[in-house]
Structure 1
Amino acid sequence: MAEPALAEPARQAGMFLQYPLQPRGHPSPMTQRPHPIAPPPYHAVVPHIVVAGAPDAIAFYKKAFGATEKLRLADPKLGGAIVCAELVIGDSIISIADEAPQWNARGPKALGGSPIVLTLNVEDPDAVAARAVEAGAKIIYPIADQFYGRREGRIEDPFGHQWILSAVIEDVSVDEMQVRMARWWEEQGPSGA
């Protein structure tokens, strides 16, 4: 097992280690793990997004996406800033925190955009988009049937994160997607959009 001093920087940085660290040459913790890597309701990947104004973002995600709040940790030493809030959206969890420039944690608005787009699979993307717009989002691409068998579009939430709202409407093979994509690009003309 790792020396306690080795784990301390991770604890100070806010990382919660679930399992003891194993030095090189020792048995892998994968064979000794007493718990699953991602215990329910977590999945292997949990997005952790940073925003300016986490309380307002939480309220937006509740109204727009029907999120429920699982936990909220605020740091009184940081003026009550949210350092971690977890929301359940559908069958997944997303983690949210206020910006913390001292830890190089900045939201999309501070960065001039976001390098990622989150996909939210829903029953009715039109209805979710309408709720999101009512709650303050803007439409980037309107909801429409897509060549790859989904009805989807893209919104930007009031905090700068972009979301694809998507529902499967047709099972399409990869080969058929390739044919449809080529046809779609031809229809777009020289501008490509």
Structure 2
Amino acid sequence: MTPDIQLHPRLIVADPDRASAFYQDALGAEQVFRAPPGDDGRPSVVELRAGGASFRVSPAVSSWGWLSPGDLGGSAVLLEIEVDDPDAAGHRMTAHGGEVVVPIENRPYGRRSGRVRDPFGHLWIVTGPLR
């Protein structure tokens, strides 16, 4: 018997409230929880839900080993989001401050995909059906 496991990725960012607003605007995510602000004025965690997936954002705290992509010199993880219209999703991300790293195009492996770096340094593969 396998255990029931839930995975909740946590993205480390400088400003969790700003990141939450970006993911709500760019990905249509819904904020489902926000911890009260700590001594530094930032919440320790904000939980978001986009479609059937949930993820969290937390502030960078170097003494805890919580480092943002800016602290690391880049993102150590690729986040993949599958959507019906990757072009529209990529456009929303760039309209809200994301940067295209690899253009969204039809790929030889039968998907339309590309990569966008969000304003916080995290890399997203945006993928969906061919156009």
Could you state the TM-score of these two structures normalised by the residue count of structure 2? 0.92
Q: Secondary structure at the match of 2:43?
A: strand
Partner residue in 2 for 1:72: 34
Deviation at 1:80, TM superposition (A): 2.5
Q: Kindly indicate which of the two structures has a greater share of residues assigned to strand.
A: 2
User: Structure 1: which 5+ residue stretches go unaligned?
Assistant: 1-29, 39-43, 171-193
Q: Which amino acid aligns with 2:34?
A: R
CA distance in 2, matches of 1:90, 1:121: 10
Partner residue in 2 for 1:48: 10
Q: Secondary structure at the match of 1:74?
A: coil
Partner residue in 2 for 1:109: 70
1:60 aligns with 2:22: yes
1:119 aligns with 2:86: no
Partner residue in 2 for 1:37: 4
Identity value in percent: 36
CA distance in 1, matches of 2:47, 2:4: 18
1:91 aligns with 2:52: yes
CA distance in 2, matches of 1:101, 1:115: 16
Deviation at 1:75, TM superposition (A): 4.1
User: Structure 2: which 5+ residue stretches go unaligned?
Assistant: none
Q: Deviations over 1:92-113 (max 9, x none)?
A: 0011101111201010011110
Aligned pair count reads 131
Could you state the TM-score of these two structures normalised by the residue count of structure 1? 0.64
CA distance in 1, matches of 2:125, 2:62: 27
- Which of these two proteins has the greater Rg computed from alpha carbons? 1
Deviation at 1:142, TM superposition (A): 0.6
The structure with higher relative contact order (CA 8 Å, sep 6+) is 2
Q: Deviations over 1:51-88 (max 9, x none)?
A: 01111101110111001001011343x32222111100
Alignment of 1:1-193 (within 5 A): 37-38=4-5, 44-76=6-38, 78-169=39-130
After TM superposition, the runs of 4+ consecutive aligned structure 1 residues lying more than 6 A away are: none
Partner residue in 2 for 1:17: none
CA distance in 2, matches of 1:90, 1:169: 21
CA distance in 1, matches of 2:36, 2:42: 5
Q: Which amino acid aligns with 1:37?
A: D
CA distance in 2, matches of 1:111, 1:68: 28
